[in-house]
């Protein structure tokens, strides 16, 4: 071994001591930063001068890690996306967690490519997929793969449904002139039409079925639309049920949707990006009844389950169809009976990626650290804060609730302000660092949208949002 040990170390330091010491300092700093989140403004705009400082030509020579870290602390860390902050309430963002953070440290060093081969990373991804199936009541033999997020997970599901409808020929011959039709609620997420766009079917192939006052797809209207399209000679192939609409968290009647899909012979996919996580709570699980009948399900671990970004998942009930959608025969990437190329099937045959980070570890450690019950309590806590916020909004004459609160999303507006002014008010709140809701449009009105996903958020944080809204709205009224 002497020859080897005397050899060059590549990019590795000859002595790890300095790197090790810096790593320990970073770890302490970052835990302090996380623990202090509440004391910071929720968001600060990155100053133009610091943006300019970040811009530089491709560096030719290396610089020391200490200097790089100093730049990170100065230029990057203060101007983040706020996901760690208890008063981050915009869009749909998980807050991260300590077990997931430590997992990412291990993952960065362990550093497998989880495209395939015979190693523990693949075994662990299978375990995590099995847990996901168990969480929603799908069969133990359900197939699945981890992806960046639900946008790609929905895309994979569309591709499997396309393969199921058109057979193996679609992979070689393309979609051609077949007029496929898919169905989803008018409240479905934009990644569903975009998946149809990317898959060559076209977003116009998606029928947006009307939603009722509770933002749930009208099952009768779905049934009628499918029947009309079949009668017109079109080729219905896919129904997407939504478990948690992005606007307000409504959950379609999944059992009813499943029944329509079964009767018409269509693929039943569920987009449960965040809503599927409600299955972790005994209280909210009944809202998802029917999800266990899904042919495929898309959801994220990095939203309500608080796993660090990114960790999405698609589940497919029929493992053979899943494999038939992606598997390829490539000379440089064959399976072997033994050695490192064993242990099929590999994730590369279950999705579009051939280079894949070891996402499973952060999911595994998060689920083990808190348990399904612990994460279920996070779900219930978010819903409780949402109910508190909705009740407060209802009590405030200046405010108006715009949508029913099914889970953890509250949409409201300042009655006296225009849509444009309500939108400005949200930017006011963010720039003041008070709270960070986002906006959407509900029934044609601009909504201030508070999504209670961060596990650190309290009822007091919800009150701080309302207090801030009222105070800044009053300032706007005075300034007018």
**Residue 312, H or E segment:** strand 312-316
* Region 252-281 residues binding a second copy, contact defined as CB under 8 A: none
Q: In what order do the strands lie in the sheet with 180-185?
A: 143-147, 312-316, 296-300, 267-271, 235-242, 180-185, 206-209
Among 41, 344, 352, 404, binds a second copy (CB under 8 A): 352
Q: Which is nearer to a second copy, 2 or 231 (CB)?
A: 2
Interface pattern 373-412 for a second copy (x via CB under 8 A): xx---x--x-------------------------------
Q: Which of 138, 141, 160, 175 binds a second copy (CB under 8 A)?
A: 175
Query: Contact with a second copy (CB under 8 A): which of 207, 223, 302, 388?
Result: 302
Q: How far apart are CA 318 and CA 324, in angstroms?
A: 10
Token pair recorded at residue 225: 């639309």
Q: What is the C-alpha to C-alpha distance for residues 128 and 100, in angstroms, rounded to an integer?
A: 14
Which of 165, 157, 164, 167 minimizes the C-alpha distance to 195? Answer: 157
- The residue assigned the tokens 């007091």 is 460
261/256 Cα distance (integer angstroms): 9
DSSP for 159-175, please give it: HHHHHHHH-THHHHH-S
From the list 150, 242, 408, 422, which residue makes contact with a second copy (rule: CB under 8 A)? 150
Nearer to a second copy, 222 or 363 (CB): 363
Residues near a second copy (CB under 8 A), total: 186
Site map (CB under 8 A) of a second copy, residues 89-118, x = contact: -xx-x-xxxxxxxxxxxxxxxxxxxx--xx
Tell me which of 129, 217, 287, 367 binds a second copy, using CB under 8 A: 367
- Distinct helix (H) and strand (E) counts, the chain: 15, 12
Query: For a second copy, which is the closer residue by CB, 184 or 260?
Result: 184
> Of residues 49, 172, 479, 480, which one binds a second copy by CB under 8 A?
172
C-beta separation of 248 from 404 below 8 A: yes
Rounded to whole angstroms, how far apart are CA atoms 85 and 313? Answer: 25
Contact region for a second copy (CB under 8 A) — 219-227, 386-394, 453-461, 470-478? 453-461
Q: Would you count residue 330 as binding a second copy (CB under 8 A)?
A: yes
Task: Say whether residue 16 binds a second copy (CB under 8 A).
Answer: yes
185 binds a second copy (CB under 8 A): no
Is the separation of the CB atoms in 424 and 477 below 8 Å? no
Smallest gap, in angstroms, from Cβ of residue 295 to a second copy? 19
Footprint of a second copy on 196-255 (CB under 8 A): 196-205, 246-247
Nearest CA among 235, 228, 221, 116 for reference residue 164: 235
471 binds a second copy (CB under 8 A): no
Span interacting with a second copy, options 220-228, 286-294, 357-365, 394-402, rule CB under 8 A: 357-365
């Amino acid at each position: 071994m002497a020859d080897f040990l005397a050899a060059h170390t590549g990019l590795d330091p000859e002595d790890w001591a300095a790197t090790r010491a810096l790593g320990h300092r970073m770890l302490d700093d970052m835990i302090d930063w996380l623990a202090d989140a509440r004391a910071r403004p929720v968001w600060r705009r990155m100053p133009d001068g610091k943006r300019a400082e970040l811009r530089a030509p491709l560096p030719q020579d290396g610089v020391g890690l200490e200097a790089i870290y100093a730049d990170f602390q100065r230029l990057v860390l203060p101007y983040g996306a706020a996901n760690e902050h208890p008063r981050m309430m915009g869009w749909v963002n998980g807050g991260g967690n300590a077990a997931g953070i430590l997992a990412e440290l291990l993952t960065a060093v362990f550093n497998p490519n989880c495209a395939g081969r015979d190693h523990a990373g693949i075994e662990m991804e299978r375990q995590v997929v099995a847990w996901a199936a168990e969480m929603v009541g799908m069969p133990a033999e359900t197939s699945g793969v981890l992806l960046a997020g639900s946008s790609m997970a929905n895309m994979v599901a569309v591709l499997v449904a396309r393969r199921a409808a058109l057979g193996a020929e679609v992979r070689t011959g393309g979609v051609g002139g077949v007029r496929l039709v898919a169905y989803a609620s008018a409240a479905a997420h934009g990644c569903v039409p975009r998946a149809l766009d990317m898959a060559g079917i076209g977003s116009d192939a998606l029928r947006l079925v009307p939603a009722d006052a509770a933002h749930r797809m009208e099952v009768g209207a779905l049934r009628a639309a499918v029947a009309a399209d079949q009668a017109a000679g079109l080729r219905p192939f896919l129904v997407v049920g939504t478990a948690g609409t992005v606007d307000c968290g409504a959950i379609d009647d999944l059992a009813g949707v499943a029944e329509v899909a079964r009767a018409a012979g269509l693929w039943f996919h569920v987009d449960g990006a965040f809503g599927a996580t409600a299955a972790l709570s005994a209280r909210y699980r009944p809202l998802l009844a029917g999800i266990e009948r899904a042919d495929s399900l898309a959801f994220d671990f990095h939203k309500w389950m608080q796993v660090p970004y990114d960790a999405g998942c698609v589940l497919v009930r029929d493992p053979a169809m899943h494999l038939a959608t992606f598997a390829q025969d490539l000379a440089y990437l064959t399976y072997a009976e033994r050695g490192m190329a064993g242990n099929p099937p590999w994730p590369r045959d279950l999705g579009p990626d051939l280079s894949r980070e070891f996402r499973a570890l952060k999911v595994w450690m998060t689920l083990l650290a808190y348990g399904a019950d612990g994460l279920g309590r996070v779900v219930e806590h978010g819903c409780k804060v949402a109910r508190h916020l909705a009740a407060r909004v209802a009590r405030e004459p200046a405010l108006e609730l715009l949508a029913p609160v099914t889970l953890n999303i509250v949409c409201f507006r300042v009655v006296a302000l225009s849509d444009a002014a309500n939108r400005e008010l949200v930017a006011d709140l963010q720039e003041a660092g008070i709270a960070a809701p986002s906006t959407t449009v509900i029934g044609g009105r601009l909504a201030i949208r508070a999504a209670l996903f961060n596990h650190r958020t309290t009822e007091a944080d919800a009150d701080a949002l309302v207090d801030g809204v009222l105070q800044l709205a009053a300032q706007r009224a005075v300034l007018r």
